[in-house]
């Protein structure tokens, strides 16, 4: 496909990849686990073992202001478990400021070569000081200096501003002597909903969503099924 500069509207309506065929449907019987963390672990491991996926832990993080104006960016998942999904960032960045005024967050993984997507929604909370210290100290020296050089999301005059700051910090803090800046640390997104999506070529994509049940919700085992560890699951129309 070649696009002309003078094209005002680019029509990519025909751009369409073949997804999985009918023999590879994702049904309730294919669930590895009846709770979302075990299911995520199984899909994440498959993504890690797929050579075409260079960064299986890259995910999109959506946040919103107090008024609900959304913003999204990529971050790296650095851990997950029953308690939630963890990433690290600058607390004074745009995402950090938005999470302070509105802790609702959404995470999306898209593993293109597996035709799979996972959508997580939950509440973000800061991880402990000990956790942030531990992770900061485990990072390579250059990354530690890099995160100190940048007042993330602020406007700067040029790249040179960063280089000068980096040089200053390299001279001031030799390797092994850097303390984590207070404005840098972890967030844990505690999920209340996790959806597993698998694309099918006939466009009858499979979507199975785990969620926390509503108070006094009746589990009918027709639309809503009882999962494990306090989760229920249901199929969504594609």
Ligand X SMILES: Cc1cc2nc3c(=O)[nH]c(=O)nc-3n(C[C@H](O)[C@H](O)[C@H](O)COP(=O)(O)O)c2cc1C
116 binds ligand X (CB under 6 A): no
- Min dist. Cβ of residue 100 to ligand X (A): 12
Task: Out of 39, 93, 132, 198, point to the residue binding ligand X (CB under 6 A).
Answer: 93
Count residues near ligand X (CB under 6 A). Answer: 16
Confirm if 56 and 40 have CB atoms less than 8 A apart.
Answer: no
Tell me which residues in 45-64 interact with ligand X (CB under 6 A): 55, 58
Q: Which pairs from 200-207 meet CB under 8 Å and 24+ separation?
A: 200/19, 200/20, 200/21, 200/22, 200/24, 200/25, 201/18, 201/19, 201/20, 201/21, 202/22, 203/238, 204/238, 205/19, 205/238, 206/25, 206/26, 206/27, 206/235, 206/238, 207/235, 207/236, 207/237, 207/238
Window contacting ligand X (CB under 6 A); options: 87-95, 102-110, 156-164, 217-225: 87-95
Sign of CA dihedral 160, 165, 168, 170: negative
Task: Out of 69, 74, 142, 219, point to the residue binding ligand X (CB under 6 A).
Answer: 74
Helix (H, G, I), strand (E, B), or coil: what is residue 114? helix
Binding mask of the shown chain, residues 135 to 174, with x at each position contacting ligand X by CB under 6 A = -----------------xx---------------------
73 binds ligand X (CB under 6 A): yes
Binding mask of the shown chain, residues 177 to 216, with x at each position contacting ligand X by CB under 6 A = ----------------------------------------
Window contacting ligand X (CB under 6 A); options: 4-12, 73-81, 160-168, 211-219: 73-81
94 binds ligand X (CB under 6 A): yes
d(CA 192, CA 140): 33
Q: Which residues are near ligand X by CB under 6 A?
A: 55, 58, 71, 73-76, 87-90, 93-95, 152-153
């Amino acid at each position: 496909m070649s696009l002309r500069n003078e094209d005002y509207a680019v029509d990519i309506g025909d751009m369409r990849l073949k997804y999985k065929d009918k023999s590879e449907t994702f049904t309730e019987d294919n669930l590895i686990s009846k709770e979302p963390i075990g299911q995520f672990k199984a899909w994440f491991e498959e993504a890690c073992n797929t050579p075409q996926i260079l960064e299986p832990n890259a995910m999109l993080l959506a946040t919103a202001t107090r008024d609900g104006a959304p913003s999204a960016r990529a971050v790296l998942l650095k851990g997950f478990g029953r308690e939630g999904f963890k990433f690290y960032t600058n607390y004074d960045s745009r995402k950090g400021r938005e999470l302070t005024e509105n802790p609702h967050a959404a995470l999306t993984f898209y593993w293109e070569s597996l035709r799979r997507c996972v959508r997580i929604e939950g509440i973000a909370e800061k991880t402990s000081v000990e956790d942030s210290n531990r992770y900061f100290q485990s990072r390579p020296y250059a990354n530690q200096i890099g995160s100190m050089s940048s007042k993330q999301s602020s406007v700067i005059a040029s790249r040179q501003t960063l280089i000068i700051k980096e040089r200053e910090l390299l001279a001031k803090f030799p390797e092994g002597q850097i303390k984590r800046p207070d404005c840098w640390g972890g967030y844990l997104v505690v999920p209340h909903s996790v959806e597993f999506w698998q694309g099918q070529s006939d466009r009858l994509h499979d979507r199975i969503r785990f969620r926390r049940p509503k108070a006094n919700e009746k589990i009918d085992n027709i639309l809503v099924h009882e999962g494990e560890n306090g989760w229920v699951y249901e199929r969504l129309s594609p």
